[in-house]
Structure 1
Amino acid sequence: MSIYIKNGVLHVTGAQEKLRAKGQENPAFIADYTLLDIETTGLNPYRDHVTELGAIKVRNNEIVDQFSKLVVYPRSNKVPAVITKLNGITEELLLTKGIPVKEAMTEFRQFIGDDIIIGYNVNFDLNFLYDLTEKFKLPQLNNDYVDVLRLARAYYPFQHNRLLDCMQRAGIAETEQHHGLDDSIDTKKVYDDFRANFTDELLAKAQGKIKNIDLLAAELEAWELGYRNPVNNKKVAFVDGINMDNAEAALMVNNMNGQAQTIVTPDTNFLIIDDDSFFDKNNEAIQQAREYNKSGSKIKRLSESYFLNMLDEWARN
């Protein structure tokens, strides 16, 4: 049994099938790829949905094809006002010009093919796209990828590195379009700017930021944990029956500057439940958490799959 991160990917003996089987990140400058960007109604792929798919296909550093589709769902197509203000996408626009999500995603998966994927903070996009390919039984989206944000952090250390920041610093544009195709084209311009200006030392620095950690070996240092550690200072209780080994899961949490608990208490932050029992009203731990919450506690119930993918997000960051 073991829990470790290899080349930025979380590995968990006994529970690997609960993780999105995405590809591996490899900071590099390549000539042939598909660069993509999507628009969504929010940040959570479990709750929010895709509104727009955009991408460009690049060969020998030149754009040879492009993809742009608005997406409509069979049920709700509501778009939060804050998102509409950002990119102008409305429910009416989706209902008028969108194509059914299954059709759109099928075409998009075909467009990507076997290419290495490039994007800005691309792991965000891949989570939504991976889940859609699984939902519609399309070829698994396990393509390796390059995250331009990783390159930006090496090139502009100790600075705020939104796509817009990089565009403005390089003189590419003063505003960001927040549309899939337009942002894909702008991201390529930023990527090309880095290609022209990166040194071997900077590229090695970016590559060296990919995590390789045995999460059971010892308590991790602050520099290893980073600032997005999801269990930092959190009290985490695991219900019996999860796929992970409970003792190893507890050791992992403790090594990551969290505090593992054997039972749920009023100050528990996360209660981790096996997927099949998540909605079990008769589960004693769930009942206890509800009672504590009625008295003012703020215990979050997380399925084992959700928890592990949350850790994988940190591992890939």
Structure 2
Amino acid sequence: MSIEVKNGVLHIPGAEDKLRQKGMETPAFLQDYTLLDIETTGLSPYRDRVIELGAIKVRNGEIVDEYSHLVAYDKSNCVPAFITKLNGITEEKIINEGIPVAEAIHDFRQFIGDDVIIGYNVNFDLNFIYDLAKKYHLPELNNNYVDVLRLARAYYPKERHNRLIDCMQRAGIAQVEQHRGLDDSIDTKKVYDDFHAHFTPNLLVQAQKKIKNFSLTDEKLSPWQIGFRNPVNNKKIVLTDHLKMNLEDANKMIDNLGGQAQGRLAMETNYLILGDHDFFSRDNNDLNKAQELNHEGADIKHLSESFFLNMLDNWARS
């Protein structure tokens, strides 16, 4: 079986359990859904924390319920200065007003329920929520979703930037983005409703066609298929032996995506992909060799198989 992207989702035989089992993106205009937005301390679900959860529940196109809470942790509630400058959330505010993370994610997951999820660049939010729900043994967040950013790109195909604030300003909704969960959820609904009022059937078809569907192992992909977000493009990559994905197929995938699969580590290597268990080993020959080369001036990043595949899945969903 080949490695493929089907309906925007990466499928990699033998290593499916390494991927977040999120739902599929389904560009559409709905009347019933949950629209969400979160605030975090940074961009990585592996390193950073959710500090605010916000959402609205919509029925027949109208808001019928809201969820909004700061999220407090036992060990640290430190907020980077640039985040505080962006949204006004401080460590003191979280300590005084936040609710414990276990309670917050439980209630938030319950609030979402089985609804289709809507959001702006929503895959970012889903990664954080998925991991947090999994950590606290809650129902898997595998709801299908609508990304309003996908609709924005179809509606404004010639614009260089299609951020939420860009769409808000173009539609006369607001001039400033609040960068707070509930406020941004409400503003995203206004943008979504504006698109609903102005989209033609052809525009919706164009948005749906942008969902990726192709094999990653059959033949080299064209630049328009790869796109500028492809994390493998122009990267030299070494795969180690203890991986769950098929090495021959994975090497083909790397080459077809514009990267270069290397048989061994070298000064020009960019990524060393290790099995999840090997990633934490202190006695791994490949990792030790990469560290030696780095001391000599190389810049080899070592990634776990799970991190690497979820990085590719995020690209597939973009």
Deviating 4+ runs (over 6 angstroms): none
Q: 2: CA distance between counterparts of 1:114 and 1:279?
A: 36
Q: CA offset at residue 262 of structure 1?
A: 1.2
How far apart are residue 76 of structure 1 and its match?
Answer: 1.5
Provide the rounded CA distance (Å) in 2 between the counterparts of 1:289 and 1:281: 13
CA distance in 2, matches of 1:263, 1:76: 41
1:24-43 paired onto structure 2 within 5 Å: 24-43=24-43
Q: How does 1:89-100 map to 2 (within 5 A)?
A: 89-100=89-100
State the partner residue of 2:50.
Answer: 50
**Which residue pairs with 1:224 in the alignment?**
225
Write the deviation string for residues 160-205 of structure 1: whole angstroms up to 9, x where unpaired. Answer: 1000000000000000010000000000000000000000000000
1:32-57 deviation digits (Å, cap 9, x = unpaired): 00000000000000000000000000
Q: How does 1:177-188 map to 2 (within 5 A)?
A: 177-188=178-189
Instruction: Give the C-alpha shift of residue 290 in structure 1.
Output: 0.3
1: CA distance between counterparts of 2:19 and 2:63?
Answer: 33
Specify the alignment match of 2:245 in structure 1. Answer: 244
User: 1:10-159 alignment to 2 at 5 Å?
Assistant: 10-159=10-159
In 2: Cα distance, 1:91 partner to 1:134 partner: 25
1:261 and 2:262 matched = yes
Deviation at 1:288, TM superposition (A): 0.3
Structure 1 residue 158 displacement after superposition: 2.5
Q: Deviations over 1:50-99 (max 9, x none)?
A: 00000000000000000000001111111110000000001111111111
**2:270 maps to amino acid:** N
In the aligned structure 2, how far is the partner of 1:115 from the partner of 1:66?
14
1:122-181 deviation per Cα after TM superposition (whole angstroms, max 9, x unaligned): 000000000001000000000000000000000001211000000000000000010000
Aligned partners of 2:2 and 2:218 also within 8 Å? no
Return the alpha-carbon distance in structure 2 between the equivalents of residues 281 and 111 of structure 1. 42
Distance in 1, matches of 2:181 and 2:43, equals 15
Letter in 2 for 1:104: A
Indicate the RMSD between aligned Cα atoms, in angstroms. 0.5
The CA deviation string for residues 257-315 of structure 1, in whole angstroms up to 9 with x for no partner, is 00001111111100000001102122111000000111111100000000000000000
> Matched residues in 1 for 2:287 and 2:309: separation?
19
Q: TM-score w.r.t. structure 1 length?
A: 0.99
TM-score of the superposed pair, with normalisation by structure 2: 0.99
The runs of 5 or more residues in structure 1 that have no matched partner are none
* Structure 2: gaps of 5 or more residues: none
Could you tell me which amino acid in structure 1 is paired with residue 23 of structure 2?
G
Distance in 1 between the 2:39 and 2:212 partners? Answer: 28
* Equivalent position SS for 1:244: coil
Verify the 8 A CA contact 2:151 2:204 in the aligned structure 1.
yes
Secondary structure at 1:250 match in 2: helix
Within 2, Cα distance between the matches of 1:209 and 1:164?
22
Q: Paired residue for 2:197?
A: 196
Letter of the structure 1 residue corresponding to residue 272 of structure 2 = L
Matched residue, 1:311:
312
Report the Cα distance in structure 2 between the residues aligned to 1:264 and 1:278, rounded to whole angstroms. 16
Bigger shift: residues 76-85 or 188-197: 76-85
Q: Does the 8 A contact of 2:14 with 2:244 survive in 1? A: yes
